[in-house]
C-alpha cells in the first residue's frame, strides 16, 4: 500500500482511507459482521487511515469502527490514524452547528464510541455560517491543547472559509467531495489547498456508486438509502451518466483494470489530492479498491478520460439540509 504525507499535518497515511459513511444507516441495510470483516481486511492489506463521523448514525459508525479495530488499537495505537467529523445535526432545526456546546458533546461522544483517548484528525463536517470560523478554530485548539485531538481539518469548505478558519490556527486537512461527475473543487478550493500545503482527502471518488459499473438504468435503492431521493440516481441524469460509465468501462478494460479502479486512480492522480476515501460493506470489495492506489495513469490516459466524460451530467449529493 502506497503512503503519503497528508500536507502540513505531517501525518503519514495510506493513499486509500477506509470510509464508514455506509455503516451509519444512510445507505440501506448491511451485515455488521461482514462490515467488521471488511475493516479488518483493509487493515491487513495495509490501510492505516480510517474516516468516520458523528453524523454517520450518531455513534453507530464510530462504534462499529472502534469495535472492528479494538484489539489493534490497544496493541498498536500510534500506527492507526482515526479521523472523525462533527458540527452537524441533520434533520434538526439547526443542521449545521459548530457552537461550543455541540462540538464539545460531539468530541466527547466520538472518543467514547471509538473507545480511544485521542482522535488523530478531527474535522468540521460542514461550515456553519452562524458560528464564526475563527471561534470554531479556537474551540478545537483547546481540545488539541487538552490532548484529545492531534490534528484539525475541515470538510466541504471553500477557500474563503479555509482562510477565515486559518486566521486563528492553520487548517491542516480538507475533505471535499470529488469524482468524475463532480469536479467543482478544481476551481475552488483545491488550488488554495495546494498553495497552503493543506492535506486533501477526497470523499466519494466512486460517485456514491455511479462509477462502480454495477448499476443499470433499472437499478433502484432501498427507501433508507439516501440515493433513492437523489436526482443523480433517477431519471435522465442517471441514464446519461451510466452511458458515460459504459465508455469508461471499455477504456478501463483496455488498460487491464476495472472502472472503479480507474475512477479512484483518476482522483489520486490530480495535483493536490493526497488520499481517496473508499468505503466497503464486504471484505471482497476492498481489495480491488486498494489496488487502484498502484495504478499510474499517464497524461494521455487523463486526457482520454476527460474526453470520455465531456458530456457527463454534473451531480451533487447529500448535505445537512437534505438530498439534491
> What span, in angstroms and rounded, lies between the C-alpha atoms of 3 and 251?
27
All 3 cell numbers of residue 308?
Answer: 470520455
Task: Assess contact for 57 and 89: CB atoms under 8 A.
Answer: no
The structural domains of the chain, with segments of one domain joined by +, span 3-209+267-296
pLDDT, tens digit, 9 for 90 and up, residues 3-48: 999 999 999 999 999 999 888 877 778 889 999 999 999 999 999 9
pLDDT tens for 242-272 read 999 999 999 999 999 999 999 999 999 999 9
Q: Which residues contact 1 (CB under 8 A, 6 or more apart)?
A: 14, 15, 16, 45, 46, 47, 290, 293
Which superfamily, per CATH, for 3-209+267-296?
Answer: NADP-dependent oxidoreductase domain (3.20.20.100)
Q: 203 catalytic, yes or no?
A: no
Give the model's confidence band at 285: pLDDT under 50 very low, under 70 low, under 90 confident, else very high: confident
- Helix or strand run (H / E) with residue 244: helix 235-254
The Cα 114–Cα 61 span in angstroms is 9
The pTM of the full predicted model, rounded to 2 decimals, is: 0.95
Amino acid at each position: 500500500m502506497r503512503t503519503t504525507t497528508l500536507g502540513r499535518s505531517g501525518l503519514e497515511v495510506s493513499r486509500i482511507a477506509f470510509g464508514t459513511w455506509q455503516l451509519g444507516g444512510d445507505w440501506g441495510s448491511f451485515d455488521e459482521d461482514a462490515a467488521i470483516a471488511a475493516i479488518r481486511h483493509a487493515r491487513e492489506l495495509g490501510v492505516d487511515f480510517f474516516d468516520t463521523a458523528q453524523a454517520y448514525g450518531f455513534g453507530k459508525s464510530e462504534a462499529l469502527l472502534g469495535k472492528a479495530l479494538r484489539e489493534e488499537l490497544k496493541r498498536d495505537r500510534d500506527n492507526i490514524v482515526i479521523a472523525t467529523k462533527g458540527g452537524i445535526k441533520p434533520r434538526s432545526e439547526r443542521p449545521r452547528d459548530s457552537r461550543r456546546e455541540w462540538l464539545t458533546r460531539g468530541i466527547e461522544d466520538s472518543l467514547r464510541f471509538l473507545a480511544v483517548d485521542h482522535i488523530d484528525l478531527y474535522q468540521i463536517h460542514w461550515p456553519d455560517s452562524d458560528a464564526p470560523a475563527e471561534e470554531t478554530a479556537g474551540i478545537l485548539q483547546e481540545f488539541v491543547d487538552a490532548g484529545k485531538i492531534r490534528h484539525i481539518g475541515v470538510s466541504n469548505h471553500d477557500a474563503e472559509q479555509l482562510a477565515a478558519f486559518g486566521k486563528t490556527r492553520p487548517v491542516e486537512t480538507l475533505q471535499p467531495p470529488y469524482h468524475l461527475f463532480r469536479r467543482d473543487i478544481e476551481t475552488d478550493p483545491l488550488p488554495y489547498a495546494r498553495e497552503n500545503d493543506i492535506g486533501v482527502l477526497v470523499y466519494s471518488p466512486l460517485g456514491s456508486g455511479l462509477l462502480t459499473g454495477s448499476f443499470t438504468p433499472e437499478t433502484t435503492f432501498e427507501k433508507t438509502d439516501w440515493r433513492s431521493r437523489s436526482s443523480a440516481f433517477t431519471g435522465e441524469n442517471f441514464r446519461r451518466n451510466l452511458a458515460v460509465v459504459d465508455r469508461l468501462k471499455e477504456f478501463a478494460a483496455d488498460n487491464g483494470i476495472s472502472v472503479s479502479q480507474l475512477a479512484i486512480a483518476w482522483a489520486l492522480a490530480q495535483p493536490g489530492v493526497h488520499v481517496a476515501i473508499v468505503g466497503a460493506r464486504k471484505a471482497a470489495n476492498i481489495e480491488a479498491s486498494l489496488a487502484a492506489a498502484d495504478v499510474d495513469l499517464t497524461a494521455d490516459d487523463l486526457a482520454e478520460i476527460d474526453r470520455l466524460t465531456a458530456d457527463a451530467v454534473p451531480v451533487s449529493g447529500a448535505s445537512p439540509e437534505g438530498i439534491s
